[in-house]
Structure 1
Amino acid sequence: MFGTTQSRTVITRLNELGHEAVFVGGAVRDFLLGKEPTDIDIATSATPEQVKSVFRNTIDLGTEHGTVLVIESGEPIEVTTFRTEGTYSDNRRPDEVHFVTSLEEDLKRRDFTINALALRIDGEVVDPFKGREDLSTKTIRAVGNASERFNEDALRMIRAVRFVSVLGFELENSTKDSITLLASTVKTLSVERIKTEFDKLFQGTFAHDALKLLAETNLSEALPLFPPRQDTWLQCAPFRNSLEGWASLMIAGNYDASEVVRAYKLSNKERLYLQSIQKFFKIRQLRAYTIDDYYVADYSTLVSVEKMVRAFTNQVTIAEDEINTAMNGLPIHSKQELEVKGEQLMEWTGKKGGRWLGEAIQAIEHAVLYQVISNEQNAIKEWFLHEYECEK
């Protein structure tokens, strides 16, 4: 049975009032592929006003485009009125939207046949464009005329490549040809929309094939900071996560972290990760990791750096288990693990707090890390009073 209890309730209530209502979109596709569906959406012949009159708790998500968020027993469910769309003068948004009562007309406006599927509450699949056939042959095919679909929204071309990465499908020839012809129009897209697609592309099992397609279809020429070293970049895929994907783009293009952050408007978390990758990649071009490196770095960062070392340099790489052993073998992993605090140092010395306290804790941290002393209060006290203090 497809859908949550709440989503099935929404469809059932609309059906009972004489409105056609069906599950649509990627969730139906994933269900037919035997995957766990997410982001369940409903399409209906009911207008936004009719939808709002049926359900008590609703939120407008853009009623001019037909979408109402229905809150059913605590679950938010998007319900969108069947519609057709006018011209797309900005290669992104339709200039006008017309509500219709025909499900097939609604499915006709969608991007790819595998997404132009609907599922009725009784399990019947509505498939006017042979999407199930393309699912079985693992094909990405535009609905109708591919050039028209891509002229409507240029992001669909990047979405096509993203589906190659996530699903492992291939582009149908005319769809690929249209992307190659219209690739330059992705320059009209906001970088935020492109970034969202790349986050998903980088997480795909078949990211290698997707990156190769970006170059083959000329999309690479229209994208910000696309690395020129594509052959070696491909060796980094698949990626452990989207962060590693962005980091590999940075290293492949020999860009500074700040360039990538600005070009794709990355978050602070992503910026910090790229800066860390950049730092340790530079280190690895000169030497192996030290105790200090293992102490301050994240395991995932070093593992990703080694993948890039393997792809972009002639250095001998350090295996994951070696990194893991080195990190696990550290006597402490942060200052918070020290068996003494500033209060004990003040008690031992009779001094008040001040800059000396931070310097002393740092010295103890270093001594414990390099196993000059053990991380035990008595050992630290002995060393601190009879060696550290005496040397000052």
Structure 2
Amino acid sequence: MQIKNLPQEFEIARPIMQNIENAGFEAYFVGGSVRDTILGDEIHDVDIASSAYPAEIKRIFKHTVDTGIEHGTVMVLDHGNGYEITTFRTESGYQDYRRPDKVTFVRSLSEDLKRRDFTINALAMKENGQIIDLFNGLSDLNSKLIKAVGNPEERFNEDALRMMRAVRFASKLDFSIEAHTLEAISNHSELLSKIAVERINTEFVKMMLGQNPLKGISDMLKTHLVEYIPGFHDYLDSFANLLNFKDLNLQSEEQVWTLICFQFNLGEQQIKSFLKAWKTSNKLISNVLTMVKALKAIESQSLNNMIMYHTGEDLLRQTLKIAKCLSIDINEIKVIQNYAKLTVKHKKEIEIDGSQLMKLNLVKPGPMIGKVLSEIELNIVNGKLPNNKNSIIEYTKKLLKE
């Protein structure tokens, strides 16, 4: 098979490949970019593998950077672009189920490709678009199968994260996991507990954002992978209940974790602990707390001006998408219209702040400032107080007398 019309990302890299070949070595595009090009999907990182050793790559090109020299990776700089060239290699001795104890550089493409995770990721492509398929990856692409290269038991013992990658690709591409590969995941699922949670997080979120997250959820339950990720063990039934919703069309990391925390019926402190265990950012935790509160209000039909105001338009729209996924009855258009009618959308839009109230000698420094500002904010958002200085000053005077 030869791809005639290469994406621009490949075209601009072809001279790099040609220089390597003119120096007497082999060079191929490898990995996900090849797979996605065949599928007609958007490609991201372009990876190049070569029979040339790092020192040889550095002799061929004037401008290089040692980005991962111990793993055989050298970045070639060319006309403002950087291309990572990785030497063909074999790996051995995965005692921690994550990283090889030993990396050996080799000249053989087949030796390099057979250490890769799945057949659809073990495709290589020459600079002219000719596909090299040593493990029937093209057949598995046509059959929509995720199949381990060689012995799946060995692949998952080498890197246990590959089990999560399998369910992620099944979801992302809407493929099925081949029977022996699926069985090997079931047999080794407990090894996932040895993997850093940050790596699992990345794969889990990508899985939930895939074409068919229900496949990923089903596979995680079927293989028991879900039992070895942080915080899910006590909520297996709640996780399984997501299979009852046929349109889990999620579009952001915030939506993924809001859905999970809502489905698990977690309270505020539980959400904080849960997401910290997943090593998420403070910003994401804050957004999820806000969205869960809004989602619960939507479900109980108690969504009011203050909740919409504190949620903000972007997170409110995202929350409405989750409500739709969960078949919660809500008029999305009306909610957005009600949000648009709010007098102010942010605290900064209020005409007077605490420092101004103090300058007017209405309030002295202390806890009272916060209470007064909260009352002002509440009444403006609820339409009971005009957002102008004179009205706010008169309201403050009246409030303090009471």
So what's the TM-score if we normalise by structure 1? Answer: 0.88
Give deviations 1:230-264, integer Å, cap 9, x for gaps.
33233372322222212222233344112322321
Alpha-carbon distance in 2 for matches of 1:17, 1:177? 45
Q: Which moved more, 1:210-219 or 1:95-104?
A: 95-104
Contact map agreement 1:252 1:312 (CA 8 A) in 2: no
Q: Which residue of 2 aligns with 1:180?
A: 186
1:250 aligned to 2:258? no
Q: 1:360 to 1:165 in 2, by over 3 A?
A: same
Question: What SS does structure 2 have at the residue aligned with 1:61?
Answer: strand
How many percent identity over aligned positions?
36
Deviation at 1:114, TM superposition (A): 0.5
Q: 1:220 to 1:326 in 2, by over 3 A?
A: same
1:60 aligned to 2:74? no
Q: 1:233 to 1:305 in 2, by over 3 A?
A: farther
1:263 aligned to 2:274? no
- Which structure 2 residues correspond to residues 155-194 of structure 1 after superposition, within 5 A? 155-194=161-200
Amino acid in structure 2 at the alignment position of 1:251: F
Give deviations 1:341-376, integer Å, cap 9, x for gaps.
6787688x587985677766555444432323444x
Task: State which of 298, 306, 314 in structure 1 corresponds to 2:312.
Answer: 298
1:389 aligned to 2:374? no
Contact map agreement 1:139 1:172 (CA 8 A) in 2: yes
Alpha-carbon distance in 1 for matches of 2:258, 2:393? 46
Tell me, which stretches of 5 or more residues in structure 2 are unaligned? Answer: 1-5
Q: Which moved more, 1:171-180 or 1:240-249?
A: 240-249
- Which structure 2 residues correspond to residues 310-321 of structure 1 after superposition, within 5 A? 317-321=329-333
1:197 aligned to 2:197? no
Tell me, which stretches of 5 or more residues in structure 1 are unaligned? Answer: none
So what's the TM-score if we normalise by structure 2? Answer: 0.86
Deviation at 1:94, TM superposition (A): 1.5
Question: What SS does structure 2 have at the residue aligned with 1:23?
Answer: strand
Q: Which moved more, 1:252-261 or 1:213-222?
A: 252-261
RMSD: 2.8
Contact map agreement 2:119 2:147 (CA 8 A) in 1: yes
1:238 aligned to 2:252? no
Q: Which residue of 1 aligns with 2:286?
A: 272
Give deviations 1:71-112, integer Å, cap 9, x for gaps.
222222221001112232221112212211111221111111
1:15 aligned to 2:18? no
Alpha-carbon distance in 2 for matches of 1:286, 1:344? 39
Question: What SS does structure 2 have at the residue aligned with 1:336?
Answer: helix
Deviation at 1:34, TM superposition (A): 0.7
Q: 1:350 to 1:280 in 2, by over 3 A?
A: closer
Give deviations 1:304-350, integer Å, cap 9, x for gaps.
5566668889xx63332232111111111112223556787688x58
Deviation at 1:15, TM superposition (A): 1.1
Deviation at 1:48, TM superposition (A): 0.9
Q: 1:340 to 1:242 in 2, by over 3 A?
A: closer
Alpha-carbon distance in 2 for matches of 1:269, 1:350? 36
Alpha-carbon distance in 2 for matches of 1:190, 1:140? 23
Deviation at 1:61, TM superposition (A): 2.8
Q: Which residue of 2 aligns with 1:40?
A: 46
Contact map agreement 1:257 1:278 (CA 8 A) in 2: no
Q: 1:321 to 1:116 in 2, by over 3 A?
A: same
- Which structure 2 residues correspond to residues 52-91 of structure 1 after superposition, within 5 A? 52-91=58-97
Q: Which residue of 1 aligns with 2:3?
A: none
How many residue pairs were aligned?
Answer: 385
